[in-house]
Amino acid sequence: MKRIRLAAILAAAVLALLPTSATADATYPDPQPITGQQIIHDPTVMHLKSGGYVAYSTGGIIGARLSKDMKHWDDAGNAFAEAPSWWYEYNDKADPWAPDLSYRDGRYWLYYAVSSWGTNHSAIGVATSRSGLPGTWTDHGKVFTSEKTDTWNAIDPAIVRADGKLWMAFGSYWTGIRMVQLNPGTGKAIEDARVHHLATRPDEPYAVEGPYIAKHGRYYYLFASYDTCCQGVNSTYKIKVGRSTSVTGPYVDSTGKPMLEGGGDLLLAGHGKYIGPGGQSIFRTQGRDWLAYHYYDADDEGTPKLGLNQLRWTRDGWPNAL
């Protein structure tokens, strides 16, 4: 009897040390509830000056979603009616990836990547629109390219302005996240642009991609997606962040470890039915910062869906997802 009682006490003690699913899930917040067209991949979201919200994404000829309140989203077709002919140089299906939406000089600018799985024969292109709405975009061709001889991959663009200059972060696997300066007039890389190195992993295959850079206070924050995307419920994507007082780095995490040495604070990871969050971007509306990303819904056979979480900044200047 004593032996049974002792075994029960030991078992209870062991169970007390193990995290319950509720405790583990509480570490990462669920996205806000949304309705309508939820399916999306690599979202970029913006509050349009005409009112309402638009989200562009991987899929179709840059898939489009529209919303009046960020809660109900409607399918709005594609950014383009047809694919520009030069896309076929990089993808035989003219399938663009990972768009980035920004606004400057009275126009919306839509950057995107064209490539094929597993190669760095890739290109980043740009289009402009006065309204930012699907079907109104004029393509302007290539911004920056990479070839198999390069040690970077020209996909996953993200635009940021800093100190009167325009910059584009980009990168996927190979040696990680890179950055080049752009000509603000053309929106394309300046001649003989230096390729800065912002983040990587210690070992091959250097599984970091999808950068996004946001300014808060005196720091620039580099958000990036780590590990494996696009495998449905088997995806291991997660979002990490580091910061720097210079847009070109060096970026470090809250312990001071450089992102060029594998550093980065974990901002959001899979929990519950929300598997593999990543492909993130940041947007600001009504005085608040929001994190947009996709996750794979374990309750819906791993379908990629839109995640939206408000960002809160701590007193020492680090972001938390709410």
> Rounded to 5 degrees, what are φ and ψ at 41?
-145, 130
At residue 86, φ and ψ (nearest 5 deg) are -70, -20
- Which of these is catalytic: 209, 253, 265, 297? 209
At 7 the three-state DSSP class reads helix
Q: Put residue 273 in one of left, alpha, beta given phi > 0 → left and psi -120 to 50 → alpha.
A: alpha
Which of 42, 95, 100, 156 is labelled catalytic?
42
**All residues at 6 or more sequence positions from 138 whose CB lies less than 8 Å from its CB, including other chains:** 127, 128, 129
Residue type, 188: K
State yes or no: is 253 an active-site residue: no
Residue 42 is among the residues annotated as catalytic for this protein: yes
Active site residues: 42, 209
